[in-house]
Each structure stands twice: as structure tokens, then as C-alpha cells.
Amino acid sequence: MASKILPSDRDVLIIVDLQNDFCPGGRLAVPGGDAVVPAINRLCGSFRHVVLTQDWHPPGHLSFASSHPGRKPFETIDAPYGRQELWPDHCVQDTPGAEFRGDLVVPHAALIVRKGFRREIDSYSAFYENDHTTPTGLAGYLKERGLGRVFLAGLAFDFCVRFSAEDAHRCGFAVVVIEDACRGIDLDGSVAATQRRLAEIGATVIAASEIA
Ligand SMILES: [Zn+2]
């Protein structure tokens, strides 16, 4: 049996969007989204450095289907920066749906990166908004703190985890995706597309049980 990965002081666990609206009962529920919480709580105990991301939209956000008369959730639009999926209203700033899951236990998380807070642009990635040029500042934070390897878990595998992985790679970080600590939405084969893309960028895909 392969030896387990023991996270070092240069490793960071990024927990993506583990918020009420992305879990069953929420406005944009990812199937089984709540089921990853116990595994993520356990993972947090293995990492000295943990960062949380939080989807954090103003009312009337461009990614909301309700902002586009006649359009429905899960359709796409051509935004000025490219294709944008439309979603049900979700993770509106300062609402219960935008709060982290109450059963997520990660008191030592050092940073919360809020994203999607500009009305006119969405942000799937923890590193860049959906124009792929506006930085969130996370890459600079990680580099300044000497963190070189990024482990990703959370929601949703085929959107915010995927784009965070791609951008982490683009920013020069080693990328590890803990796949069974993620859940996907799976729009038009987006989970399979994500698995292909992760292989293309050379991301390591592991199970939570592979972390010591
Ligand atoms: Zn969002």
C-alpha cells in the first residue's frame, strides 16, 4: 500500500464554498454537498494552513437567472468576459444561505476569500474572477506565506474546484484535488470534463483517506 501524504508547512488546504446554499435545502444545492463535511473536518486536522472561500454575491448579481428577463437557471449567456452559466439566486451577501455550513469545524482557518462580490462579474476560481484576469489576491497571499502546494476540497467539483485547480496550476502551485471530499453539479458532462482537465494540467487526484 502506498504511503500516505503527510501535509507539510508548505501545504495549504483550500476549502471551496462549503456554504448552506450549495448543500441540500439550499438555493443551489449540489447533490450530496453536505456529505463532504465530516471528511473535510477530518482533513482540516491534518493541515496547519487552511483557507476558506465564500461565494458572496450582491442582490441582482449577473450570474443570477433572475437578473435576465426570460432566462432560466442553468442556461448560459454571453457576458462581456465570455460564457457565463446562469444560476438560481444563491449566496447573497449576509443571508443564511451564504453562511458556511454550521457543522464545518475549522477554527484555525487563517483566511476567508470572498468572491463574486462584483455585480457584473462572477468568480468560480479562488484565484481569478471569471474574466481570468482580475485576481482575488489569493496567489499573492499564498506565495508571501511560502505555501507552494494547494490541496482542494469542497463544492462544486466541476465549477469552483475545477477553476481553482486550473488557476492554482497557472500561478505555479502544485495542485492536489481530494476528489471524494468534493461533489459536482454535473451540467452536460461537466464532471467528466473536469476529470479530463485535471489530468491535462497534471493535478494529482487523491482520496481523503490518502492524507495522513
Ligand atoms: Zn455564485
pLDDT tens digit string along 120-162?
Answer: 999 999 999 999 999 999 999 999 999 999 999 999 999 999 9
On the question of pLDDT at 2 being above 80, the answer is no
- The one catalytic residue among 44, 55, 115, 182: 115
- The answer to whether residue 160 is catalytic is yes
The DSSP 8-state label assigned to residue 177 in this structure reads E
Rounded Cα distance between 125 and 55, Å, is 10
- The answer to whether residue 72 is catalytic is no
Answer whether 185's CB lies under 8 Å from 68's CB: no
Q: Give the distance (Å) from ligand 1 centre to CA of residue 13.
A: 21
Block residue for cell numbers 465549477: 159
**What is the share, in percent, of the chain residues with pLDDT greater than 70?**
100
- The answer to whether residue 182 is catalytic is no
